[in-house]
Amino acid sequence: MTDVLASRPLAKAIRARRETLRHLDCLTRQIAARAGRQAITLKVRSRARRRSDPRLYHQELADRLSFERWGELDTLTCRLVVQEQIIDALEECADVRVLPRAG
């Protein structure tokens, strides 16, 4: 026996979490792609100056870009934490409602 009234807010919270995860994933991919483009551009421009490891340089660029967009990343991460807490509370509430009543 499932309480339909309890499942609607839960489904809505799960959809919101999924959307936030998609947004965070998109932002992460954008940062990685931009770091890759910048690494290639800088590599072509400065062929005389060689770096020891191009992957390390790419990671430095990704870290710098992540730092530049830390506000967005932090907001999404905090939103995910709150959404997880809401989902846990709704699931706990739904479990309590599903239990048969003694009486």
C-alpha 57/C-alpha 83 separation (Å) is: 35
53 or 74: which leads in pLDDT: 74
pTM of the model: 0.68
Whole-number pLDDT of residue 39: 79
DSSP 47: S
Q: Tokens standing for 6?
A: 């309890």
Q: Tokens standing for 13?
A: 């919270």
pLDDT (average), residues 26-31: 93
- Which segments of 1-103 does DSSP mark as H helices, in order? 4-45, 54-68, 70-98
Q: Tokens standing for 4?
A: 């339909």
Whole-number pLDDT of residue 75: 93
Q: N- to C-terminal Cα distance for the chain?
A: 17
36 pLDDT higher than 80: yes
